[in-house]
Each structure stands twice: as structure tokens, then as C-alpha cells.
């Protein structure tokens, strides 16, 4: 938000005093950072996408670039880019499964995991936290 008040000219963005500390922080939390920036509503917002691109271009962002080019993030990027077409494919497969295979198993044959999109990962994390809280609550009794 601090950068939003800075002028939106390219030279000012490159000399922003907040980019270096932010890129160092994001290097420590690559998975969370990529999940944050790759959510559909942020990826389509030029303020977030320009910031993320600039952070990735910085010399000190090598660990983040390495994570983004890894297998786990590549699958997440593919799911983000093709989430809508995959939803159509999933609904078609759910309506007609003559082979008896489940949709997730047939998509998994192509390396597509329905839990790899950032929004699905967040939902899964919330469910895991709820289960842990309930387990902790029950163990207290």
C-alpha cells in the first residue's frame, strides 16, 4: 500500500525503498508468496502483477525464481492458468464416466491435481486447521 502513493512511473518503481526488504521476506516464504500473487483476482490486477514481476526480476529474488520454476509451482501455475477449462472438463467427466473412473483419478493421469490451485490450497489449509482445532479440543476433554 505504501507504494500505491508513490508515482506510477517506471523509474520510481525501480528505486522504491520497499522492494528490497519485501523481496528478501518473500524469499523466506516462497510458497505463500507465490500462492498470494497467483490468485486470480491478484494476477489480473496490474498493481499486484507488476509488483510481482518486478520482485522476480530483482537480483536478490533468486530463491523465489528457483521456487517458481520448480515442479510444485509449475503445476500450480498451470492450474491457475487453466482452472476454468479444467472445471468444464471436470463437469463433463462427472456427467459421463463410462469407464467407471473418478474424475480426479482420470485428471491425475495427466498430472492435474485438483488441489493445486491457490484457492483450493487455501480451502484445504482452512479445513486442516479446523480438523487440528477439533482434535486439540477433543484431546483436552
Per-residue model confidence as pLDDT tens digits over 26-40: 999 998 998 899 887
pLDDT at site 13: 46
CA 84 to chain centre: 15
Q: What is the pLDDT of residue 44?
A: 80
Indicate whether 18 pLDDT > 90: no
Q: Cα separations (Å) of 62 from 56, 101, 102, 104?
A: 8, 41, 40, 34
* Average pLDDT of span 83-105: 63
* pLDDT score at 67: 92
More confident residue, 59 or 11: 59
* Residues 52, 44: Cα–Cα separation, whole Å: 12
Q: How high is the pLDDT of residue 65?
A: 92
- Residue with the larger pLDDT of the pair 2 and 69: 69
pLDDT at residue 107 in the model: 56
**For a pLDDT cut of 70, what percent of the chain falls above it?**
67
Please give the pLDDT value at position 83.
Answer: 73
The model's pTM is 0.52
The pLDDT mean for the chain works out to: 76
Q: How many residues does the chain have?
A: 141
pLDDT score for 89: 72
Q: In which band, very low, low, confident or very high, does the pLDDT at 12 lie, cut at 50, 70 and 90?
A: very low
Between the alpha carbon of residue 114 and those of residues 4, 87, 89, 111, the distances in Å are: 35, 9, 12, 10
Please, what is the angle between helix 19-28 and helix 46-57, to 10°?
80
Amino acid at each position: 500500500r505504501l507504494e500505491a502513493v508513490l508515482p506510477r512511473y517506471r523509474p520510481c518503481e525501480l528505486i522504491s525503498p520497499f522492494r528490497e526488504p519485501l523481496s528478501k521476506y518473500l524469499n523466506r516464504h516462497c510458497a505463500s508468496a507465490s500462492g498470494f500473487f497467483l490468485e486470480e483476482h491478484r494476477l489480473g490486477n496490474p498493481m499486484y502483477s507488476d509488483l510481482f514481476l518486478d520482485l522476480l526480476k530483482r537480483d536478490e529474488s533468486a530463491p523465489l525464481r528457483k521456487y517458481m520454476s520448480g515442479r510444485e509451482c509449475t503445476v500450480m501455475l498451470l492450474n491457475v492458468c487453466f482452472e476454468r477449462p479444467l472445471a468444464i472438463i471436470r463437469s463433463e467427466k462427472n456427467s459421463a464416466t463410462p469407464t467407471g473412473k473418478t474424475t480426479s483419478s482420470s485428471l491425475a493421469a495427466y498430472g492435474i491435481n485438483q488441489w493445486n490451485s491457490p484457492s483450493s490450497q487455501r480451502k484445504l489449509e482452512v479445513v486442516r486447521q479446523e480438523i487440528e482445532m477439533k482434535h486439540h479440543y477433543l484431546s483436552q476433554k
